[in-house]
Amino acid sequence: MAERLTAEEWEATLGRQLRDLRLRQNIDQRQLAEQAGVALNVVKNLEAGKGATVTSLVKVLRALGRAEWMDSLAPAVSISPLQMLKSKPSRQRASRGKGMPHV
């Protein structure tokens, strides 16, 4: 289902989750903005699904104690050993130059 959401739907979903988390912690938007070091409008925009900068999102998530959410957005990328073998070019033997004696 998540793959079918538009960018706007993702923003709205994230905004609702941020709002719910803030309310569960019993703080108002102004307090959250102060704790995060962002403008009140940033919090309002995030909660309304209108977006913000990644920096502002990270600050708000940290203030809410949910910085680990960012880990799920940007997991460490790794290449499997099998993939490395598949992508390695096959070795070619050096050709003999003209006039080189055969041993």
At the top level of CATH, the class of 2-72 is mainly alpha
- For the record, the structure tokens of 23 come out as 């309310």
Q: What are phi and psi of 27, to 5 degrees?
A: -125, 150
29-36 and 54-63 helices, crossing angle to 10°: 110
pLDDT at 78: 73
Distance CA 53, CA 43 (A): 11
Q: What confidence tier does 52 reach under pLDDT thresholds 50, 70, 90?
A: confident
When mean pLDDT is compared over 21-35, 59-73, 83-97, the highest value belongs to 21-35
Instruction: Answer with the residue of higher pLDDT: 26 or 94.
Output: 26
Asked whether the whole model's pTM tops 0.85, one would answer: no
pLDDT recorded at residue 5: 86
